[in-house]
Amino acid sequence: MQLVAGERCALAASSGLVNLAPDYPSKHFLATQTLDEARHVEIFTQRLFDLGVAKEDLESTIDRYANPNLVKFAEVLLEKVSDGDFIAGVVGQNIVLEGMAFTVFELLEATSRDLNPKFAQTLSGTIADERRHVGFGENRIGSLISEHPEKKPEIEKMQQEMSYYMLATFADVFSASGESIDEGRKLAAQQGADSLSTEWHGADLETATIEEIEGVLADTVLGEFKNRLGRIGIEYQSPSVPA
């Protein structure tokens, strides 16, 4: 459910950015990104249908289960797009949102590879798209930032705000996932636990606690933000830690 909500935000943002792009090559890239995001929305939505969500209940189900902090994360980004701020919009979309999605999908792919290979394969294709999107963000925006250094404080504030809501979303989702992760591990044990142990960014996903996995995920995403923002001349701002 959170994947659909996140991808819907990415679709709305990337399509909105097409009109704001100052040159045709950027418009063309963002048009292909719009298509990618639509495909992601479609495949994750289909996953919901496969899991039993009725088509007529799709919107109400998303409204009901989309994490409120993820919704706020999306609102911060979409406000920039609605205000016509191309540079902030691309940083929010192609570095913050895509950077988060890229790492979350990597984690999900690692945990699904053996237990749910169909879903893992879906995620692999999505990860390849996200890598291209992040690359565009870094390449195109670096030069625009150097032309408009006055934009930096506002963009840094947006990054900090989005990062806060991202961490709050992680906290909500992981705190509610304890039972399902335990169930997954039991299932893995029944299927042959020795072959299912997966190392991800230094954590053994088979034995790590929920808090440890959440911590590794948060550190990995924030580390990516710091590196990528640094490459385009933006100073990473540490978010406050959600209560």
Partner 1 sequence: MTPTGTASNQGDTTDTEAEPHQLDEETFYGEVRSFSFWFEAVEGYLEGRPYGYDPAMPEEQLDQQHRERIVTTLCNYCVGEAAALEAASGMVRLAPNHNSRIFMATQVADEARHLEVFLHRIGQLGVQDPEAEVQRLAHPNIVAFKARLLELVDDGDWDASVFALNVLLETLEFTVFRYHARTADAITSQILDGVVSDERRHLGFGENTLGHHLVAHPDDRARLTEMKSQLDTLVLGAFEGAYDDLGLHRDQRPQLGRDYLEAVERLGLLG
Q: Does the footprint of partner 1 cover residue 38 (CB under 8 A)? A: yes
- Least distance (Å) from partner 1 to the CB of residue 42? 5
Q: Does the footprint of partner 1 cover residue 18 (CB under 8 A)? A: yes
Task: Find out whether 70 and 6 touch, Cβ atoms under 8 Å.
Answer: yes
In whole angstroms, what is the distance from residue 38 CA to residue 43 CA? 9
Q: Does the footprint of partner 1 cover residue 42 (CB under 8 A)? A: yes
Q: Does the footprint of partner 1 cover residue 60 (CB under 8 A)? A: no
- Least distance (Å) from partner 1 to the CB of residue 19? 5
Task: Find out whether 69 and 168 touch, Cβ atoms under 8 Å.
Answer: yes
Query: How is residue 15 written in tokens?
Result: 């399509």
Nearer to partner 1 among residue 11 and residue 229 (C-beta): 11
Which residue in 88, 89, 102 sits closest to 166, CA to CA?
A: 102
Task: Find out whether 7 and 37 touch, Cβ atoms under 8 Å.
Answer: yes
Give ∠ CA 127-95-66 in degrees, rounded to 5: 70
Which residues ranging from 96 to 115 are in contact with partner 1 (CB under 8 A)? none
Amino acid residing at 85: D
With CB under 8 A as the contact rule, the residue among 1, 3, 5, 27 that binds partner 1 is 27
The strand pairing partners of 204, in sequence order, are 199
DSSP state, residue 238 = P
By CB under 8 A, the count of residues binding partner 1 is 22
With CB under 8 A as the contact rule, the residue among 31, 110, 115, 181 that binds partner 1 is 31
With CB under 8 A as the contact rule, the residue among 2, 3, 34, 152 that binds partner 1 is 34
With CB under 8 A as the contact rule, the residue among 2, 15, 116, 160 that binds partner 1 is 15
Query: How is residue 33 written in tokens?
Result: 């990104």
Applying CB under 8 A, the span of 26-34, 135-143, 194-202, 225-233 interacting with partner 1 comes to 26-34
Residue with tokens 């100052």: 22
Q: Which residues bind partner 1 (CB under 8 A)?
A: 11-12, 15-16, 18-19, 24, 27-28, 30-32, 34-35, 37-39, 41-42, 45, 58-59
